[in-house]
Amino acid sequence: MLGAPEIIGITLSAALIAAVAQYFYKRSLKEFRFSVRDIIREFKKRDILLGGALYLVSLAVYLYALDSAPLISFVYPIFASTFVFVLLISKVVFHERVNLHRVLGMALILAGIAVISVTL
């Protein structure tokens, strides 16, 4: 069985991969309307396919973390770091405005992950 640091690292890796998948989804979408035609068109785009592939990789890594940890209640909250990674990607790549409320929210998520990480 892996130790807590390894499980945390594996879970953070899965979260980062999932966040990068979100980046490719967002980068691909320009004028999406919720219609069968638009959905089919989007599923043919390279960035959507790459995002989907990354989600599958993220799922495989996450499943490994779940299998390696004795408690799902340890792994799942750490996966919430996806929110933090998406915020960082949004700021750096898409130049989104990050206000104090978002920073405080991310700080709370990180504090929660820190508290969870010492409980195994």
Residue 1 one-letter amino acid: M
Assign 120 a pLDDT band (cuts: 50, 70, 90).
low
Residue reference for tokens 């640091």: 5
pLDDT at 96: 92
Q: What is the pLDDT of residues 52-65, one digit of tens each?
A: 999 999 999 999 99
Residue 109 near residue 79 (C-beta atoms within 8 A): no
Average pLDDT over residues 97-116: 90
Q: What is the pLDDT of residues 15-42, one digit of tens each?
A: 999 999 999 998 887 776 788 887 887 7
The number of folded domains in the chain is 1
- pTM of the full structure: 0.87
Minimal CA–CA distance to 113: which of 7, 22, 13, 8? 8
Minimal CA–CA distance to 94: which of 22, 15, 16? 22
Average pLDDT over residues 44-55: 93
Cα–Cα distance measured from residue 51 to residue 25, given in angstroms and rounded to the nearest whole number: 6
- SS percent in the chain: helix, strand, coil, step 5: 80, 0, 20
Task: Provide the b/e sequence for 48-60 (b: ≥16 CB within 10 Å).
Answer: bebbeebbebbee
- Which residue range is the domain that position 39 belongs to? 4-117
pLDDT at 39: 81
